[in-house]
């Protein structure tokens, strides 16, 4: 058991705490430190989601708590909020155990298009504060999260250090120092709104890391998204996405430049992440994309993970707006029907009071005054008619009655005529309706359509209900509206095709797929004009199995582990482009100059110091050989 261990600072990575232990313990060997911390020398240093934490806790003693360590000093809460409870529990178990190889696959990072930062990042203002407060600095979690380019505390642009997240010595924990070599991230060209968006992303990420109680349930996020989309007019009341309007709104809120920085460009395609994130969640989506949706919908984490339902007209009971009712402006209405406006596609509420008064208005309600607004009166009801009768019998004039009931004169005349009231003013002629004739005609039409529906089934016994519906849409619609139960009882039953329950041998599938992946990687970029980046997406497209790699990553551990191993980050790909360009220049007998390498490789002068050093080294070597 350890006799001393550093106290973690606020938002400090566990990786950083262990690095400080290495320095203050005076150990000269990283393996010596690893053995003291974990009781064995084989544990690798992982900055974001480390494993073997039970072994570490056994060395630290009972003072330390596993949940506190994981929730406050690893990137676990950043991902866990958007995982299903079962997945999150498995990830935490893997972190506590020695099975760290499955963690990144389980949370979807390995298969994600959003890549992790290749080096550790810092904020100069945070470093200065740390030195004044603690006399040393440390690596913060929030600065390392994908999509965080600005410090959420100081709102200053972060700096990328030369400390790689994949150290050459896989057992080494590198300590943060105030004089660490670093360069400021280039955000030139962004306008004020784009910078503000990046600040919001940083603050939302910080909130995600600190609110450890957040946890999604099965498709609860999708349901909450749809609720807000309905409120904002991006989805119908039935939950159908208005994709064109959604993409236009999303594009006007989040610029292409910002989306590119955040590795979340959108394309108007069925398989695009912005479309799929609002469908039934069959796979994990990267937290940065959930945060972008959250910012676009102008909501927050507490609301997103709460249980607030879509109530366009507020929570009932609602107020009665019948002036003649004793309960006028009192919350007594309990019956509300919500439909969709044909023109605007906004919700329309139809309210029915026990007094018989029926009115509707278009929503959603924007303020408290809206609940006292009548859009259209559909039925005045027996109480209102009784009040009209009373006012007429009392000898009130048409103007007085109109003012008392706040109804126009034509309405008063119409209902006075229907009620056959004795008045001094001229009443309109009311055509008396023969109810029996109407009912008889309705029954005749209904019977005719039922016969037509049954005859159609006799003529086409092989056709399904949907196919018959397309043949006589008017007959189907009439029956659906007027006698749905009969229609359901007298329609073809959908035939279910019985398919044998063929179980996939995922272990064998994993082995076969691994062979394909290795073969394609071994011949990668041979005889091509321009190299391509090795990623899970590019590999999946080459072997025509992208969907399988994305959706069944958890069932293909060997393949995903190999892809994770050979996948290139930005720096790796840039270095390979340099080597590719140098070989091409040599074959073409062109002079090998630094500026030409930058140009031919398509690299900007703002590339990392690691790439710059490689270019300088290679061009210098060539000059030496030439001389």
What is the C-alpha to C-alpha distance for residues 201 and 94, in angstroms, rounded to an integer? 29
Q: At what angle do helices 53-60 and 66-73 cross, to 10 degrees?
A: 120
Residue 439's pLDDT band (cuts 50, 70, 90): low
Residue 366's pLDDT band (cuts 50, 70, 90): confident
What is the C-alpha to C-alpha distance for residues 53 and 93, in angstroms, rounded to an integer? 10
Q: What HEC string does 343-364 produce?
A: CCCCEEEEEECCCCCEEEEECC
Cβ neighbors of 138 (< 8 A, separation 6 or more) are 9, 12, 13, 16, 17, 20, 130, 176
Number of Cβ within a 10 Å radius of residue 475: 19
What is the C-alpha to C-alpha distance for residues 563 and 551, in angstroms, rounded to an integer? 15
Peptide bond before residue 196 is cis, with ω within 30 degrees of 0: no
In whole angstroms, how far apart are CA 463 and each of 251, 458, 495? 44, 10, 11
Q: Taking 60 as the threshold, does the pLDDT of residue 307 lie above it?
A: no
Q: Taking 60 as the threshold, does the pLDDT of residue 611 lie above it?
A: yes
Q: Taking 80 as the threshold, does the pLDDT of residue 224 lie above it?
A: yes
Strand partners, 320: 328
pLDDT on residue 189: 84
| Integer Rg of the chain from CA | 35
Q: What is the mean pLDDT of residues 244-259?
A: 89
pLDDT, one tens digit per residue, over 82-137 is 888 888 899 999 999 987 778 888 887 777 889 999 999 999 999 999 999 999 99
Q: What is the mean pLDDT of residues 235-264?
A: 88
Q: At what angle do helices 14-25 and 66-73 cross, to 10 degrees?
A: 100
Judged by DSSP in three states, 9 sits in coil
Alpha helices in 7-84 (DSSP H): 14-25, 30-38, 53-60, 66-73, 76-80
What is the C-alpha to C-alpha distance for residues 258 and 224, in angstroms, rounded to an integer? 25
pLDDT on residue 53: 93
pLDDT, one tens digit per residue, over 487-543 is 888 888 765 544 455 577 888 989 999 999 999 888 888 878 888 899 988 898 888
In whole angstroms, how far apart are CA 114 and each of 51, 78, 296, 417, 569? 22, 14, 19, 72, 11
Residue 208's nearest CA partner among 266, 97, 292 is: 292
Q: Taking 60 as the threshold, does the pLDDT of residue 73 lie above it?
A: yes
In whole angstroms, how far apart are CA 163 and each of 130, 153, 476, 556, 564? 19, 23, 69, 31, 20
pLDDT on residue 218: 62
Residue 52's pLDDT band (cuts 50, 70, 90): very high
Cβ neighbors of 625 (< 8 A, separation 6 or more) are none
Residue 46's nearest CA partner among 24, 80, 70, 82 is: 70
Strand partners, 377: 359
Alpha helices in 153-254 (DSSP H): 192-210, 220-232, 243-253
DSSP code of residue 606: T
- Helix H or strand E segment including 338: strand 335-340
202 within 8 A of 142, measured Cβ to Cβ: yes
Identify the residue whose tokens are 């009192």.
330
Q: Taking 90 as the threshold, does the pLDDT of residue 385 lie above it?
A: yes
Torsion sign, CA atoms 380, 383, 388, 389: positive
What is the C-alpha to C-alpha distance for residues 605 and 203, in angstroms, rounded to an integer? 30
235 within 8 A of 242, measured Cβ to Cβ: yes
pLDDT on residue 121: 97
DSSP code of residue 376: E
Cβ neighbors of 564 (< 8 A, separation 6 or more) are 104, 105, 110
Per DSSP, the residues of 70-124 read HHHHSSHHHHHTTS-HHHHHHHHHHHHSS-GGGHHHHTTTTT-SSPPPSEEEE-H
Residue 89's nearest CA partner among 218, 223, 215, 221 is: 215
Residue 81's nearest CA partner among 284, 268, 230 is: 284
pLDDT, one tens digit per residue, over 268-302 is 887 889 998 988 766 778 999 999 999 998 888 87
| Distance from the Cα of residue 246 to its chain's centroid | 13
Residue 625's pLDDT band (cuts 50, 70, 90): low
Let me know if 82 is exposed, middle or buried by CB neighbors in 10 A (0-12, 13-18, 19+): buried
pLDDT, one tens digit per residue, over 539-566 is 988 888 888 888 888 889 899 989 988 8
What is the C-alpha to C-alpha distance for residues 117 and 148, in angstroms, rounded to an integer? 10
Q: What is the mean pLDDT of residues 336-349?
A: 74
Residue 460's pLDDT band (cuts 50, 70, 90): confident
DSSP code of residue 359: E
pLDDT on residue 62: 65
Q: What is the mean pLDDT of residues 29-49?
A: 92
88 within 8 A of 106, measured Cβ to Cβ: no
Q: What is the mean pLDDT of residues 188-208?
A: 92
CA angle 29, 33, 34 (to 5 degrees): 115
pLDDT on residue 382: 92
pLDDT, one tens digit per residue, over 161-176 is 999 988 778 899 999 9
pLDDT, one tens digit per residue, over 351-360 is 999 999 999 9
550 within 8 A of 111, measured Cβ to Cβ: yes
pLDDT on residue 499: 47
């Amino acid at each position: 058991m350890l006799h001393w261990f550093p106290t973690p600072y606020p938002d400090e990575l566990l990786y950083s705490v262990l690095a400080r232990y290495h320095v203050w313990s005076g150990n000269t060997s990283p393996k010596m430190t690893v053995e003291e911390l974990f009781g064995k020398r084989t544990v690798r240093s992982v900055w974001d989601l480390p494993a073997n934490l039970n072994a570490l806790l056994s060395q630290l003693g009972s003072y330390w708590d596993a949940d506190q360590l994981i929730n406050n000093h690893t990137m676990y809460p950043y991902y866990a909020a958007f995982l299903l409870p079962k997945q999150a529990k498995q990830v935490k178990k893997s972190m506590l155990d020695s099975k760290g190889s499955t963690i990144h696959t389980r949370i979807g990072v390995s298969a994600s298009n959003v890549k992790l930062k290749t080096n550790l990042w810092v904020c100069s203002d945070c470093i200065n504060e740390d030195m004044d407060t603690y006399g040393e600095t440390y690596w913060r979690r929030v600065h390392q999260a994908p999509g965080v380019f600005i410090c959420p505390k100081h709102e200053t642009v972060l700096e990328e250090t030369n400390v790689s997240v994949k150290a050459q010595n896989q057992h080494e924990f590198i300590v943060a120092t105030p004089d660490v070599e670093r360069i400021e991230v280039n955000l030139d060209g962004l306008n004020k709104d784009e910078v503000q968006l990046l600040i919001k992303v940083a603050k939302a990420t910080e909130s995600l890391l600190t609110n450890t109680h957040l946890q999604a349930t099965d498709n609860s996020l999708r349901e909450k998204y749809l609720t807000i989309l309905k409120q904002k007019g991006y989805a119908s009341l039935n939950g159908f996405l208005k994709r064109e309007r959604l993409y236009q709104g999303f594009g006007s809120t989040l610029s292409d430049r910002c989306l590119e920085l955040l590795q979340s460009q959108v394309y108007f395609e069925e398989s695009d992440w912005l479309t799929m994130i609002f469908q039934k969640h069959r796979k994990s989506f990267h937290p940065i994309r959930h945060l972008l949706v959250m910012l676009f919908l102008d909501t927050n984490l507490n609301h997103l993970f709460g249980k607030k339902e879509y109530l366009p007209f507020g929570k009932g009971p609602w107020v009665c707006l019948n002036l003649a009712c004793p309960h006028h402006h009192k919350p007594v209405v309990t019956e509300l029907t919500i439909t969709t406006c044909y023109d605007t596609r906004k919700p329309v509420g139809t309210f029915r009071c026990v007094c018989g008064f029926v009115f509707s208005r278009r929503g959603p309600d924007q303020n408290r005054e809206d609940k006292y607004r009548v859009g259209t009166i559909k039925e005045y009801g027996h109480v209102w008619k009784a009040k009209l009768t009373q006012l007429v019998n009392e000898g009130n004039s048409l103007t007085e009655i109109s003012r008392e009931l706040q109804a126009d004169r034509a309405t008063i005349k119409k209902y006075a005529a229907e009620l056959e009231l004795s008045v001094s003013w001229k009443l309109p002629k009311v055509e008396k309706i023969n109810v029996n004739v109407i009912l008889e005609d309705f029954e005749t039409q209904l019977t005719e359509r039922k016969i037509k529906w049954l005859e159609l089934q006799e003529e086409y016994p092989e056709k399904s209900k949907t196919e018959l519906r397309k043949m006589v849409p008017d007959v189907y619609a009439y029956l659906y509206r007027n006698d749905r139960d009969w229609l359901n009882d007298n329609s073809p039953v959908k035939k279910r095709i019985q398919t044998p329950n063929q179980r996939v041998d995922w272990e064998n599938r994993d082995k076969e797929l691994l062979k394909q992946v290795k073969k394609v990687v071994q011949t990668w970029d041979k005889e091509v004009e321009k190299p391509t980046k090795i990623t899970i997406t590019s590999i999946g497209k080459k072997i025509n199995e992208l969907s399988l790699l994305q959706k069944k990553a958890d069932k293909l551990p060997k393949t995903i582990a190999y892809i994770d191993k050979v996948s290139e980050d930005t720096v790796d790909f840039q270095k390979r482009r340099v080597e590719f360009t140098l070989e091409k220049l040599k074959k073409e007998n062109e002079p090998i100059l630094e500026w030409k390498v930058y140009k031919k490789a398509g690299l900007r002068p703002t590339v990392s110091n690691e790439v710059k050093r490689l270019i300088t080294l290679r061009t210098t070597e060539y000059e030496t050989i030439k001389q």
